[in-house]
Chain A
Amino acid sequence: MTHVLTIARRDLAERASIFVAAAVLAVLPFVITLVPGMPQFPSTDVITTAGGLISVGFTLGLALVLGVTMIGRDLTEKRMSFYFSKPLSAQAIWFGKLGAALVSLALCFTVIFVPSYLAGTTSWHKSWNVELPVAFAIIATAALVMLLFGHFFGTMFRSKSPLVALDVVLIVAAGFALVGIIRPLLTGFAVDLTTRVAFILGGAMLLILLSGGAWQLAKGRADRRQNHIELSRFVWISMAIVLAIGGAFTAWVVHVTPGDLQSLEVSQPDQGTWSFLSGKAKHRMDYNALFAYDLATGEHLRIDGVRSWFSSGFSHDGKMLAYVKLPGQLYLLPLSPGAKPQDLQVTLGRGAQYVFSDDGTRIAVVDSDGIVTAYEIASKRALVSAKMPNTLRTARRLFFASPDVVRLYVESPQYGSIKASDYLVEIYELDVRTRALAHTGSYRTVTKDFGMTVSPDGARALVVERDEKSVSRAFIIDARTAQVIAPVPSADLMHTVLFADGSVGILTKDAAEQWTLTVHPLDGAERRIPIAKIARLYFARELKGGTVVLAGWKDKKSTMFVVDYAHGSVLRSEPDLRSPGFGYQQWYDADPRRVVTDADQPFAAWGDAKSLYAWQPLTGAKRKMLEF
């Protein structure tokens, strides 16, 4: 330690002129206030701004110069033998010189910074908008980085060795490796994890360079080229180890399986056995893992670069999954084991919506500028594109009314201040064959608080409105022309549903918490089906053949009910089972049509004991797929 201090003292004594330069620069911010034109700014602002810039600039510049020269110059000028002919260890030489460089930087920064800071403390905080300890930590880290990288590059280039070419190649390779480690984490939206990994990798790199200097002198001593060889050897072997560990960690993070998930979101398509799972996994912090998951077999396909299932959509037959990767690339994943995603070469803007045609051969996209485009999936070709006239209306929903016709519902915005005359749903049809966009109807609502859902065949729509006095009213309308067919009873959106047979179902609760499902056929008498005494109850899903699944809660316990609404009976109640989705999706999904599922399709449902089940509502068969 004594020898470290001896070396440091010697180096510091050599730098007296630098401290004088720093002292001169400390005066500069005060001199700048005297420059003509400057009086228009408050002098304290000028002093603190200039003082900050000069102190940081000088410190970082000096760090680079010291890094390049503190060892490199002695080696180049063949003066390192002076130290090695003394009873000085390589570590004492390195840490003595490094310590002197750090002290020089700290002193210079302090000499320049403190007078300008003291001249306008309040102004400094206003100008720089950062806490002092944070600012110091950032500047100290940046200076250390400049110093160590300066030393590394200085040693490298001063050696004039052909090995420099190899170093350059390895720098590029390390850059690629770093991107390879960080990118998969970022595409998993793991900001905290990425930050932590970046800090660890950065810290490891600084530690490698810090130790590398001592290693280089211990092994290379007074030999300039050998110093370069030893530093490169140490840095690249250590870097390879660190990058391999980083790479292995990233590989471990991204090779998460559905079984590792601790929190889970599930999106299930209308048909098919595949679902979309997303969630956070064990020990992976905020890494967002996503999967297409087969409820029938437990097979899964990992999906990269997607934040959540909100931007995903299944084809009508459930055999294809579309999802959007940042910055908006639309991908298509055939749902079969081993399948690879295809880039559809369609870029979606912010707020864009897309839907598949029922036969799965086309995709229609509408963006926030009101441009609607139909694409053919196989050829990745745009078939037709048109701009809707009213671009103020941002809430858009669409579906393929036939393989050649895209129908669009352009609704009043849900939020924001708009005039009552704007409470309107405009209906358009875009015909792929004629390449024409036709306005087919419009529906004026009494309020912006309304919802619309379309029958599975696309012929009729149910509109529910709630006025300012919270009075609900509902109508069955023609889904193409918006002509009112009939008024129907209504409840709020969460408790009103348009069934596949055209009837309307309403859930109501009496004072004794007894829930009743009332079915209102368009023609005929209503049917009342008592369900259960439970705190809350929602529509979960409708099955083909006149069956509906309801999800209920009471005292944090959930129960699923299977109700034959066509015949008016409760077929089954399933305690401790919870639906991952609710009926309200019918009001907001891109495709406004009601979801009616094949009766034998497994239903993704959570058990209360944190398990995901494949549940068969009609038979009650229940298979545990995942625990989380």
Chain B
Amino acid sequence: MNQAETPAIRIAGMTVRYGRRVAVDTASLEVPRGSVYALLGRNGAGKSSLVRCALGQQRASSGHAEILGEDSWKHRTRLMERIGVVAEEADAPPEMKVRQLADFCGALYSRWDGKAFDTRLSRFGISKDPRYGDLSKGQKKQVSLALALAASPDLIVLDDPTLGLDVVARKSLFEEVIADLADRGTTVFLTTHDLAGVESIADRVAIMDGGRIVLDEELETLKGRFRRIRSAAQPVALEAASFRTALVRRWGTGTEAVVSNYDDLTFERLRSSATIQSAEVSAMSLEEIFIAVAGEGAKS
């Protein structure tokens, strides 16, 4: 496998335990180079633990993580030269001024682009004088993002980057920054709750639930195979027609079901049958798919 074929991130059978609690349960995933990969999951699903282990900041109980073809635990120091990281919680020293943070990071990266940092910071409207600890939550994220990007990384890892950002900043992050990075071939791996924002830019998504990766595929394929079907019939009819239901609930006097292997031909055959004539089908947003897969009523 040449370098271009090597995934940017490869996680194999990773388990993370905190005492008896299993935070990540034999998770495996691959992030193709140049892609925008979104890892979705509810709070406590294990996303941040998986990210920390993938970045070599924390040792997994078992399993293996590679970044850019190298073991991320063993070669973390070297790898971090090529990776930009925005942590879930603001982790820069609060006493440091933004300027000092830039100087500090500038001394660590060989590909540091101070000009790009200054440009991005002024686009965010943040001065270099205040202390990091005095910035708002959103500003902290933006400074962290500017620092991460100024290192000219091959891979950028964003752990819930929109947390605390206002609508405008959130939109700017997804539509300008990440889209721009993707256009330049930088691999983007992010975890987020902002499904609407990520839907327009992600190439691939994975959903974590209860520590397990329950779904991992191209976003277009995913959206293509998930449909909402509302009908007066009972869901057994759908299952009899070989549809797998991810979510089933009452809808008026009938049933609303989310199927995860939708295809038009099967559905038309079903609708033409006597059992389910009044069914209507609709496409689903990523958020709706997420709720169907990882929400309260999701089938395990």
Contact B93 A10 (CB under 8 A): yes
| B213 CB, min distance to chain A CBs, angstroms | 22
Once the chains are docked, how many angstroms separate the CA of A74 from the CA of B87? 14
Contact B93 A223 (CB under 8 A): no
User: Which chain A residues lie closer than 8 Å to B83 at the CB level?
Assistant: 85
User: Which chain A residues lie closer than 8 Å to B93 at the CB level?
Assistant: 10, 14, 74, 79, 82
Partner of B59, one of A10, A86, A223: A223
CB within 8 Å of B: which A78-116 residues: 78-82, 84-89
B100 to chain A: closest residue by CB: A13
Q: Does A221 contact B (CB under 8 A)?
A: yes
Once the chains are docked, how many angstroms separate the CA of A84 from the CA of B83? 11
Q: Does A554 contact B (CB under 8 A)?
A: no
Contact B108 A221 (CB under 8 A): no
Once the chains are docked, how many angstroms separate the CA of A32 from the CA of B79? 57
B86 to chain A: closest residue by CB: A85
Q: Does B278 contact A (CB under 8 A)?
A: no
Partner of B100, one of A10, A80, A85, A222: A10
Once the chains are docked, how many angstroms separate the CA of A80 from the CA of B76? 14
Partner of B104, one of A6, A81, A226: A6
Q: Does B85 contact A (CB under 8 A)?
A: yes
Digit string of B46-72 for contact with A (CB within 8 Å is 1, else 0)? Answer: 000000100111110000000000000
Contact B76 A84 (CB under 8 A): yes
Once the chains are docked, how many angstroms separate the CA of A81 from the CA of B87? 8
Once the chains are docked, how many angstroms separate the CA of A88 from the CA of B57? 12
Once the chains are docked, how many angstroms separate the CA of A110 from the CA of B100? 27
User: Which chain B residues lie closer than 8 Å to A297 at the CB level?
Assistant: none
Contact A87 B55 (CB under 8 A): no
| B111 CB, min distance to chain A CBs, angstroms | 11
User: Which chain B residues lie closer than 8 Å to A2 at the CB level?
Assistant: 107
User: Which chain A residues lie closer than 8 Å to B77 at the CB level?
Assistant: 87-89
Q: Does A282 contact B (CB under 8 A)?
A: no
Q: How many A-B residue pairs have CB under 8 A?
A: 73
| B109 CB, min distance to chain A CBs, angstroms | 7
Contact B91 A78 (CB under 8 A): yes
Partner of B80, one of A6, A14, A78, A85: A85
Contact-residue bracket for chain B: 20 to 34
Once the chains are docked, how many angstroms separate the CA of A88 from the CA of B107? 11
Digit string of B92-110 for contact with A (CB within 8 Å is 1, else 0)? Answer: 1101100010001101110
Contact B91 A226 (CB under 8 A): no
| A70 CB, min distance to chain B CBs, angstroms | 12
Q: Does B21 contact A (CB under 8 A)?
A: no
Once the chains are docked, how many angstroms separate the CA of A508 from the CA of B107? 93
Once the chains are docked, how many angstroms separate the CA of A14 from the CA of B58? 26
| B284 CB, min distance to chain A CBs, angstroms | 35
Once the chains are docked, how many angstroms separate the CA of A89 from the CA of B75? 10
Tell me the dominant secondary structure on chain B's binding face: loop
**Given known contacts A85-B80, A86-B105, A78 and B89 CB-to-CB distance under 8 angstroms:** yes
Once the chains are docked, how many angstroms separate the CA of A445 from the CA of B80? 96
Contact A226 B59 (CB under 8 A): yes
**Given known contacts A219-B59, A223-B59, A86 and B80 CB-to-CB distance under 8 angstroms:** yes
Q: Does B115 contact A (CB under 8 A)?
A: no
Q: Does B287 contact A (CB under 8 A)?
A: no
**Given known contacts A85-B55, A221-B58, A222-B52, A10 and B104 CB-to-CB distance under 8 angstroms:** yes
Once the chains are docked, how many angstroms separate the CA of A85 from the CA of B79? 10
Partner of A223, one of B58, B80, B91, B92: B58
| B232 CB, min distance to chain A CBs, angstroms | 53
Contact A85 B57 (CB under 8 A): yes
User: Which chain A residues lie closer than 8 Å to B79 at the CB level?
Assistant: 87
CB within 8 Å of A: which B271-288 residues: none
User: Which chain A residues lie closer than 8 Å to B78 at the CB level?
Assistant: 87
User: Which chain B residues lie closer than 8 Å to A6 at the CB level?
Assistant: 104, 107-108
| A8 CB, min distance to chain B CBs, angstroms | 12
Of the candidates A10, A78, A82, A223, the one having the most CB atoms from chain B within 10 angstroms of its own CB is A82
Q: Does B30 contact A (CB under 8 A)?
A: no
Q: Does A3 contact B (CB under 8 A)?
A: yes
Q: Does B216 contact A (CB under 8 A)?
A: no
Once the chains are docked, how many angstroms separate the CA of A82 from the CA of B76? 13
Once the chains are docked, how many angstroms separate the CA of A82 from the CA of B147? 11
CB within 8 Å of A: which B9-68 residues: 52, 55-59
Once the chains are docked, how many angstroms separate the CA of A86 from the CA of B57? 10
Once the chains are docked, how many angstroms separate the CA of A264 from the CA of B105? 69
Contact A82 B87 (CB under 8 A): yes
User: Which chain A residues lie closer than 8 Å to B105 at the CB level?
Assistant: 86
**Given known contacts A2-B107, A6-B104, A221-B56, A88 and B92 CB-to-CB distance under 8 angstroms:** no
| B215 CB, min distance to chain A CBs, angstroms | 27
User: Which chain B residues lie closer than 8 Å to A222 at the CB level?
Assistant: 52, 57-58
Contact B100 A87 (CB under 8 A): no
Q: Does B217 contact A (CB under 8 A)?
A: no
Of the candidates A14, A84, A223, the one having the most CB atoms from chain B within 10 angstroms of its own CB is A84
Q: Does B81 contact A (CB under 8 A)?
A: yes
A11 to chain B: closest residue by CB: B93
Partner of B56, one of A3, A79, A84: A84
Contact B92 A79 (CB under 8 A): yes
Once the chains are docked, how many angstroms separate the CA of A78 from the CA of B48? 13
Once the chains are docked, how many angstroms separate the CA of A586 from the CA of B24? 87
Once the chains are docked, how many angstroms separate the CA of A222 from the CA of B92? 13
9 A-B pairs with C-beta separation under 8 A: A3-B108, A10-B93, A78-B89, A81-B85, A85-B55, A87-B108, A222-B52, A223-B57, A226-B58
List 4 other contacts, CB 8 Å, given A74-B93, A82-B92, A226-B58.
A6-B107, A10-B96, A81-B85, A221-B59
**7 A-B pairs closest in CB distance:** A85-B85, A82-B91, A87-B80, A222-B57, A87-B81, A84-B57, A79-B91
Task: Report which B residues bind A (CB closer than 8 A).
Answer: 52, 55-59, 76-81, 83, 85, 87, 89, 91-93, 95-96, 100, 104-105, 107-109
